[in-house]
A and B are shown apart, each in its own frame.
Chain A
């Protein structure tokens, strides 16, 4: 464990803990939850691409089936965990559980089940919303938010399940679960990154609001899982996995033929369109890891006060100039994907997609927004550290 950051008493205790609940293999339920989350990220990114390229869908598109499979797999695994712990006779399982409404089970299973119910609730709500206000008039709507919240709760539950397992498991099992945990952490970052799509679209990367939006959403979901892992280069691992996921979709999706089935059509698309090149979160992640290697004993507020601004400023330092490149002809290729446009996007016809937008009217407004981003980043970094600490202590 040379690469493990020395931590506070609760976490240190976990490694010497050899109780009746000690785990010697990765349970199938964890694999099932993991498969559900893989299914959700593949389905989610595919679905977005589907809407950008084809438009029309049904409940039974492959992407939708993968998204639904997420709920099914997680529901089966968590339901099994809760029911066998509640009604089964396994003392070890019982001892490593929490009690809610008379049921017993791992805390993460309850959180993920809550997420499944939230996703389930969003379905009839969303269906009614479409009938009342039209199909997906806006991506950020109350039913979509409930769906997203449920999906995120599943990931939080999965991380809690895995953290509890790692904190009770043998080193070999812990090592294997670590990679599953890193992937789920990266999917959390991906999900929040998708919600930020509009403010962080390349044309908006020279606005302070872009960095305020990133400061609001990303530090908590990047630092939380990474800090909870208590491992050197954890941030880099999480952000690197996020980058690999998006790049894989960036390069694979255009290989699949597709054409629009809804109008109006502004671009004569012949293949699936990927979302966009990933944000350069890998750079602030490396900075955070370097920082945390030297500040491990700091109080959490002090650590957050440094980590948040370090994240925002390092992200700003690389994303701002990188945006210049993204807007240049050199990025209009399959690698960077800046020549891809959704069929419904009148890019190049009604507006110039390579012209930066101005969101802040004055220089003062720009700097105030940027300062707000720094302040917000402290709070969201603190939130992430709290989440991470909670997972470090997770036993059940």
Chain B
């Protein structure tokens, strides 16, 4: 049974169930979705700001590259499978009066899970459409503010006392004839009934409180299920890293099977090992699936130290998960890097933080972050543009696709609470993007490890070198100090540019 299926026989009225299963926010601590792509002839930058609770309202922001769009419609749907065939009535995004290239809208996300926002565009070049995968998940539970708590408490006291006194009046006077005066016996009986009513009301309030607590705990479990699963690590023989996923809730493993994860741009798992603290080393590896749903990787040579682990996988329904853990490694004399594996080492993030816009590459070239001089601000959608120069300062002419794309960027906060693996198409999973296109679940085996990516990734498919620039749509989720690892491939060699960013 599909993990998102409801026990449908119990559906009635408008029972809107939180889906029993689940998936999690893409990345870690970075729930909003940033996507850049083409809807027909129109180039769009779409931002989906996820609601805190599900069902809840997501805010959609769309920026058009040119002033040629007349109207944009947005609609949420399942990413794949049942429920992805019939769209509900779409909403019209509102065009800004001051900036006609900017559109905003709100959409109800009614369930957690792998959803998509379908964007339909109409403009001077006809119609176009694109889909943005959205891993919808509840993020937290709100606390009740004191004024509201006080008001509700007063009303509850009023109601509780009210029913007790109504019960007393009913017994004392309810069936007396008009004008009759209650006898002393009635008054006594009324007092007894009031005491009984008070006990019953107290019992109901107690049970109500217990029910509320149970509901809150149940909801918290759903929040926990969506939290990043733990990457339980084991270092065999000192150099073979074995990773097992463990959800924050015991139910997690019922719904996400490691045996069923699907390839995302050619690999089942993208493992990032980042030196901690300092972020002065980074490995981007691709462990393979081994028995028992675990993943294993023969480590390359690396110095002893503590490493933070972020491991990206995509479940069969197109939901991206990031496993989070750490491992302490003794000096490893391991294999050489091969294939798509890559590494970087350099200076640690300065204790006082800071910004940097130029990074030296291993072959003597440079990568330059083309950014405005304004301070970086949290929650602002941006296009992070990087240009690559050869050692002579000329634009690089030997850029190649790296895992099917012009580049990969990892945005990591220095406290490791934020991690986002972003591509030129944005923060969405490439596997989810493919599912949005085909509507097929990954369980079909359509995508296999090692297969080339079947979708265009904002890059030409000819054998000509790629442009010496690469950009990534993203927004820092909160203020703090970040390090950005930008990985590209030149003349068969994977190179990593590293930039620091202080975000207000």
Contact = CB atoms under 8 A, between A and B. Distances in A.
Interface of A: 10, 13, 17, 19-21, 48, 51-52, 55-56, 92, 95-101, 107, 110-111, 114, 117-118, 120-121, 124-125, 128, 130-139, 141-142, 145, 160, 168, 194, 197-198, 201, 203-204, 259-268, 275-276, 342-347, 349-351, 353, 357, 390, 393-396
A275 B174 CA distance: 38
B11 interface: yes
Contacts of A201: 9-10, 12
A263 B6 CA distance: 14
A138 B211 CA distance: 13
Contacts of A390: 170, 174-175
B215 interface: yes
Given A121-B159, A137-B55, A96 B9 contact: no
B206 interface: no
Nearest to B211: A142
Contact of B178 (A92, A137, A276, A357): A92
B83 interface: yes
A135 B108 contact: yes
Interface string B138-171: 1001111000100110011011001101100110
Contacts of B10: 198, 201, 204
Contacts of B179: 19-21, 95
A263 B88 contact: yes
B176 A395 contact: yes
A117 B17 contact: no
Given A263-B83, A266-B83, A138 B54 contact: no
B176 A350 contact: no
A197 B159 CA distance: 28
Nearest first, the 7 closest Cβ-Cβ pairs linking A and B are: A51-B14, A264-B83, A21-B178, A393-B175, A95-B179, A95-B178, A265-B86
Contacts of A345: 8, 11
A260 B88 contact: yes
A121 B177 CA distance: 34
B9 A353 contact: yes
Nearest to B165: A100
Interface stretch (B70-78, B281-289, B496-504): B70-78
A208 to B, nearest CB: 16
A19 B108 contact: no
9 contacts: A107-B169, A132-B141, A142-B215, A198-B13, A264-B82, A268-B86, A346-B8, A350-B6, A395-B178
B223 to A, nearest CB: 10
Interface string B1-27: 110011111111111111000000000
Contact of B82 (A56, A138, A266): A266
Given A101-B165, A107-B170, A260-B88, A351 B18 contact: no
Interface in B79-117: 82-89, 108, 110-111, 115
A392 B91 CA distance: 55
A396 B55 contact: no
A98 B174 contact: yes
Contacts of A267: 86
Nearest to B117: A263
Interface string B344-355: 000000000000
Contacts of A347: 8, 11
Contact of A100 (B53, B144, B166, B211): B166
Nearest to B16: A136
B156 A121 contact: yes
A168 B9 contact: no
Interface in B166-223: 166, 169-170, 172-179, 208, 211-212, 215-216, 219
B395 interface: no
Contacts of A145: 208
A343 B156 CA distance: 37
Contacts of A130: 53
A396 B178 contact: yes
A263 B76 contact: yes
A170 to B, nearest CB: 14
B166 A110 contact: yes
A52 B151 CA distance: 33
Contacts of B177: 13, 17, 19, 395
A395 B142 CA distance: 48
B178 to A, nearest CB: 3
A135 B17 CA distance: 10
B56 interface: yes
B9 A357 contact: yes
Nearest to B79: A264
Given A124-B148, A263-B110, A396-B174, A197 B141 contact: no
A350 B83 CA distance: 10
Contact of A261 (B52, B89, B169, B208): B89
A134 B89 contact: no
B89 A133 contact: no
Which of A52, A120, A346 has the most chain B CB atoms closer than 10 A to its own CB?
A: A346
Contacts of B18: 134, 137
Nearest to B15: A139
A207 B88 CA distance: 35
B148 A350 contact: no
A265 B110 CA distance: 11
B9 A55 contact: no
A121 B152 contact: yes
A73 B323 CA distance: 57
Contact of B144 (A128, A139, A142, A351): A128
Contacts of B9: 201, 203-204, 351, 353, 357
A381 B435 CA distance: 56
Contacts of B219: 132-134, 137
Given A117-B159, A124-B152, A263-B110, A131 B170 contact: no
A139 B13 contact: yes
Given A265-B88, A349-B82, A396-B174, A128 B16 contact: no
B215 A133 contact: yes
Interface string B119-142: 000000000000000000010011
